[in-house]
Structure 1
Amino acid sequence: MKASRVIIFQPTLPSYRVDLFARVAEDLPCQTEVWHSSAQLGVLTQREERFAWERRLPAMRALLPGLDWQPGVLTTPVGPGDIVVLSGAPRNVSNMLMLAWARWRGARTVWWGQYWSSTSRTHRFLLRLLLMKLSHAILFYTDDEVEAYRNGLGRGDRRPVDALNNGINVGPIVAERAPYVPGQRPRSLLFIGRLTEKAELGTLLDALARPELADVRLEIVGDGEERSSLEEKAARLGLTGRLAWHGGMTDERAIAAIANRCRLFVYPGGVGLSLLHAMAYGLPVVVHDERWRHMPEIAAFHRARCGLNFERGNPVALARAIAQALNVTEVDDGWSVAAARVAEHEFSTQEMARRFCRLLQRVEAGEDRHAATS
């Protein structure tokens, strides 16, 4: 690659992104810089280690409701020979301006973001499409999004369009993962993720109160603003003795001690990277059936076919799906094998880094000559 620098702007740098950027920085023959702001995401942003490729920006600021500004983005020097990769969130005004400024300065640009997710709204989606038009290349989260774009609004777009298949670093998980023998595990469920409204964990609590799940336990790994209200609801439903609240954690050995004793992973709301975390442990999955009310990582579930769906927001349907999945007790459980395989080989940070570099090579090779200006 002949680029002088690859400059990547991110809102923040959570722990699950570190391995990706470390691999990219190692694989690229040019200087790599990852510019990011600090943020309060609990254990995900509580780290002291600094990296040679890491650059700090001041904290993000809110301009208006729904619009953010990242100080320092527009004063970062860019020019000919640089490739600038920008987060595609349309609420980040500074990124929108940098996308245009970098092009004017002669840099090549990559728009990196989600095509559609559980948090998308029509007006932001349309703005996202406009921002894509300014870039030399597009990098989506998953192959499913590339297909949706190519078959729809992106039909005829001849720029480089690729996907990372967004995942996590599965190496530490594989090292700690125990063999999955469902009949030898207790009737315990794993929920891992932030306790937010998006998770819809209240639906799972209602399902656990159903008689068919009377002997089922729930292990909750994660924290967030909904925890207090969820604990109160659990007490009202008489579930307190069947729930374990572990809080947020990033120590994989501690997480493994919990995940390795669970039979299923259940996420009642719009699931994202938590799905890949559980699948890497070989856990079968129960998630709701509205594809576009999930985050893009739901593509891994559809790729693996490693569990069951239920009608979103329906605790009776959720309880029925959990009960059905718990009845699978064969030693050679195909769901577990498929989940682990897809997480390890198709949605890992190793694969993400390979795809990231592949797209940048295409941009450097000049495949953007047909960039959508017509």
Structure 2
Amino acid sequence: MGKKVYFFTNLAPHYRQLLWLNILKNQENEYSFLCGKETSSGIKQIDFETEDFEPYRNRIEFLKNRYLKKKYLIWQSGAITKALSSKLDVAIITGDAWVITNWIISIILKLRGKKVVFWSHGIYGNEKGLKKFLRILFYRLAHAHLLYERRAKTLMSELGFNKHKLNVIFNSLDYEKSLSLRSKIELIDKKSALPFFSDAEKPTLLFIGRLTAIKKLDLLMNAYNQLLEKGFGLNLLIVGDGPMQNQLSTLVEPSIQNKSCHFYGPCYSEEKLAELISASDLCISPGNVGLTAVHCLSYGTPVLTHDNFYNQMPEAGAINPGKSGLLFKENSVESIVEKVEYWIFEQKLSREEIRKNCYKIIDDYYNPQYQIKVVNNLVNGNNPLL
């Protein structure tokens, strides 16, 4: 086996379970994980007790996260000891400057002659003053970077970072599961998938996620009402729950009564989510979009979100405007209305063409196989793939 590589990370989010498992299985290099075992964020964690992880448990170790300053800063007990003593060639560290020990272990590992890589969002472009200074200073500690999107690579290159040390790794969900479900969901008719609508054949707008203020769902509700007032026949499906549910449902109460708007509630079945997403015609995320974009594109459904990438999550870059979705002017109900009108009633792509466009970006980049290829390429000292 090739080089010994340690991942230092504060969390083990559940959506990365397939990726971590495939990294551990990889034969090109020997990968190990050091991660915080607990979190107060409410984020579901990887279950390392499953049978799949059993052969690799000796390469998974836990650190203790200690939260400081009202949980704004993190100290990882055990990280420094591992940085001082571990026999490794490359360390891939969560590029989070608010994890105080990340600064220290990066310096220790560099002094030991080890290669240090940060895996992060990189530069957003909206950083200013002290925050920008500290973030750039922190990123300078790494020999190379793994970044979620091409935009971050462009911004960091403009700040003087060597583009040959900036590797775009994208993001992924359970790609193997989505592949297995694709052929099944395409055979399900809309009436079966969306039985709660009085007319399931109408074009369906979708939101999927937590119903929180940051998602700006009032924009979607107001846009939907305006589209109905203009005479467009549309359904609206909301999947998820959260503190804004009562307020949002009040905005569309008449449509709930006539069964053209439905609050589905939370859904934890991937099979059912695949049906709901695939049967919808356009997912709309008025705030930042995040992994919802990857989720919807994985099942062939285009995505509409706002165009201000300073306030977006990296996964917004998965949308190919005009092919697999559109971008609207941030915070503009009128822009949402305009884009929905165009996409649903004017653009000429068939549903099958749209599905293929959505699948392509996922199959090319947003999957664990591509991510592992990027990691191995970096560890082995090659120039970035993109």
- TM bucket, shorter chain: 0.7 to 0.9
1:263 paired residue number: 281
Equivalence for 1:357? 376
- Equivalent of 1:133, from 136, 140, 146? 140
Residues 66 and 118 of structure 1, relative CA distance in 2, 3 Å threshold: farther
Supply the distance in 1 between the matched residues of 2:178 and 2:98 (Cα, whole angstroms). Answer: 34
Asked if the contact 1:43/1:248 (under 8 Å) is kept, the reply is no
Task: Give the structure-2-normalised TM-score.
Answer: 0.81
Return the letter of the residue paired with 1:252: E
Aligned: 1:95 with 2:102: yes
2:181 equivalent to 1:163? no
Q: Which residue identity is paired with 2:250?
A: A
Amino acid of the structure 1 residue aligned with 2:75: W
> Does structure 2 conserve the Cα–Cα contact (< 8 Å) formed by 1:273 and 1:297?
yes
Q: Deviations over 1:74-104 (max 9, x none)?
A: 2325456431111112221121222112222
Aligned residue runs from structure 1 range 1-374, under 5 A: 2-3=2-3, 5-27=4-26, 28-40=28-40, 44-45=44-45, 47=47, 49-50=49-50, 51=53, 52=57, 53-63=59-69, 66-77=72-83, 78-79=85-86, 81-117=88-124, 123-150=130-157, 152-154=158-160, 157=162, 160-177=165-182, 178-179=185-186, 185-210=201-226, 211-212=229-230, 215-223=233-241, 227-238=242-253, 239-241=255-257, 242-247=261-266, 249=268, 251-302=269-320, 305-327=323-345, 328=347, 331=350, 333-362=352-381
How far does residue 298 in structure 1 lie from its aligned partner after superposition?
A: 1.7
The alpha carbon displacement at 1:189 in A equals 1.9
Q: How far has the Cα of 1:279 moved from its partner?
A: 0.6
Q: CA deviation at 1:31?
A: 4.3
Aligned-partner residue type, residue 39 of structure 1:
T
Is 280-289 or 40-49 further displaced after alignment? 40-49
CA RMSD, Structure 1 to Structure 2 (Å): 3.1
| Secondary structure at the counterpart of residue 106 of structure 1 | coil
Which shifted more, 66-75 or 112-121? 112-121
> 1:85, 1:111 within 8 Å by CA — same for their partners in 2?
yes
Deviation at 1:332, TM superposition (A): 5.0
CA separation in 2, counterparts of 1:33 and 1:71?
A: 15
**Greater relative contact order (Cα 8 A, min sep 6): structure 1 or 2?**
1
- For 2:163 and 2:306, how far apart are their aligned partners in 1? 35
The Cα shift of 1:49 comes to 3.3
Q: Contact 1:14–1:44 (CA<8 Å) still a contact in 2?
A: yes
TM-score by length of 1: 0.84
Contact 2:117–2:143 (CA<8 Å) still a contact in 1? yes
Structure 1 unaligned blocks of 5 or more: 368-374
Letter of the 1:347 partner, please give it: Y
Tell me how many residue pairs correspond in the alignment.
357
| Structure 1 CA distance for aligned equivalents of residues 39 and 267 of structure 2 | 16
User: In the alignment, is the contact (CA less than 8 A) between 1:80 and 1:107 conserved in 2?
Assistant: no
Indicate if the aligned counterparts of 1:110 and 1:137 stay in contact, CA closer than 8 A. yes
- Mind listing any 5+ residue stretches in structure 2 that lack a counterpart? 191-199
Deviation at 1:303, TM superposition (A): 7.7
SS of residue paired to 2:375: helix
